[in-house]
């Protein structure tokens, strides 16, 4: 089905060509059919807010295509990006389980397809299908590990260059080995990277310029090439 925002809306999970190594994508067909019976598929433009920190949870969102960010904001208005969400991941799981308000704000970074599952229906899926329960636990464990890495970066990295180096190495896992080095797409602004690392935008810009001057990386638009991975790892571990 044709949808806005240059996306081809895929409503049947069993026929989906976008399958990722994520939440519902690798579940048995009978479980997928149970999921399809309770989900609502929609497309969203970039910068669309899915739910807001402090809002009563209505359900969970499964990202099928695109990227989104999870942000926490202080009473003073300072924001930190907790995680970049990739296809196959759920958003709003903690609030769905606890029944307490969302702890984060979810916002799309680019045009996305989402599947929304109402909270009651999601909890029934978890109770009825052991495969769903196992996958929920795996995602919560992954989110916990990611939070620990971010806390380490925010609290234990001594310089901005160390933080940016560690951030680039984490994204390199999604990149591709080439003759020039690890090539990856980094669809984030300097401001968004700053919100992930807990520094200013100007600090991120200076740190990236320093890494380029040391020939550790090259950048052209959203494309980043890690030319000296060992050097970047040494800097991140300093």
pLDDT 10s digits, 136-156: 888 888 888 877 777 766 666
State the burial class of residue 97 (Cβ atoms within 10 Å of its Cβ: 0-12, 13-18, 19+).
middle
What pLDDT was estimated at residue 166?
Answer: 87
What pLDDT was estimated at residue 214?
Answer: 92
Residue at 1 is within a domain: no
Half-sphere exposure of 125 (CA within 13 A, CB side): 29
* 3-class SS string, 5-58: CCCECCCCHHHCCCCCCCCCCCCCHHHHHHHHCCCEEEEECCCCEEECCCCCCC
What pLDDT was estimated at residue 87?
Answer: 87
Do residues 141 and 111 both lie within one domain? yes
Do residues 120 and 135 both lie within one domain? yes
Residue at 7 is within a domain: no
Q: Which of 122, 155, 188 is the last residue of a domain?
A: 155
pLDDT 10s digits, 13-40: 766 766 665 566 778 888 888 888 999 9
What pLDDT was estimated at residue 21?
Answer: 59
Residue at 2 is within a domain: no
Strand partners, 223: 185, 220
Residue at 79 is within a domain: yes
Task: Provide the residue range defining the domain that includes 209.
Answer: 157-236
What pLDDT was estimated at residue 49?
Answer: 96
Backbone angles phi, psi at 112, to 5 degrees: -135, 155
Q: How far apart are CA 38 and CA 61, in angstroms?
A: 12
Residue at 135 is within a domain: yes
What pLDDT was estimated at residue 56?
Answer: 95
Q: What is the CATH number of the domain that holds 119?
A: 2.60.120.10
**Number of CB atoms found within 10 A of residue 63's CB:** 25
Do residues 225 and 127 both lie within one domain? no
Q: How far apart are CA 51 and CA 33, in angstroms?
A: 26
**Mean pLDDT in each 10-residue stretch from start to end of the chain (238 residues)?**
64 68 72 89 94 95 92 85 88 93 94 94 93 86 78 69 88 87 90 88 93 93 92 84
Structure tokens at 212: 């380029």
Q: Which of 102, 121, 155 is the last residue of a domain?
A: 155
Residue at 3 is within a domain: no
What pLDDT was estimated at residue 74?
Answer: 83
Number of domains in the chain: 2
Q: How far apart are CA 144 and CA 138, in angstroms?
A: 10
Do residues 150 and 169 both lie within one domain? no
Q: What is the CATH number of the domain that holds 174?
A: 1.10.10.10
Residue at 202 is within a domain: yes
Q: How far apart are CA 169 and CA 160, in angstroms?
A: 14
Do residues 59 and 72 both lie within one domain? yes
Q: Which of 134, 155, 176 is the last residue of a domain?
A: 155
Residue at 41 is within a domain: yes
Do residues 53 and 165 both lie within one domain? no
């Amino acid at each position: 089905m044709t949808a806005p925002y240059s996306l081809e809306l895929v409503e049947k999970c069993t026929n989906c060509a976008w399958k990722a190594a994520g939440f519902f994508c690798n579940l048995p067909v009978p479980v997928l059919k149970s999921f399809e019976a309770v989900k609502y598929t929609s497309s969203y433009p970039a910068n669309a807010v899915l739910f807001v920190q402090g809002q009563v949870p209505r359900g969970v969102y499964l990202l099928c295509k695109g990227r989104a960010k999870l942000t926490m904001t202080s009473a003073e208005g300072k924001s930190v990006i907790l995680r970049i969400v990739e296809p196959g991941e759920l958003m709003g799981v903690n609030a769905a389980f606890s029944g307490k308000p969302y702890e984060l704000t979810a916002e799309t970074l680019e045009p996305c397809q989402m599947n929304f599952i109402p909270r009651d229906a999601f909890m029934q899926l978890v109770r009825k299908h052991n495969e769903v329960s196992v996958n929920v636990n795996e995602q919560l464990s992954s989110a916990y590990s990611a939070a620990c890495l971010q806390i380490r970066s925010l609290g234990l990295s001594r310089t901005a260059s160390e933080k940016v180096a560690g951030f680039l190495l984490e994204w390199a896992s999604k990149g591709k080995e080439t003759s020039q080095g690890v090539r990856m797409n980094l669809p984030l602004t300097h401001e968004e990277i700053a919100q992930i690392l807990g520094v200013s935008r100007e600090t991120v810009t200076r740190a990236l310029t320093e890494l380029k001057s040391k020939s550790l990386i090259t950048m052209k638009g959203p494309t980043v090439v890690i030319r000296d991975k060992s050097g970047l790892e040494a800097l991140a571990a300093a």
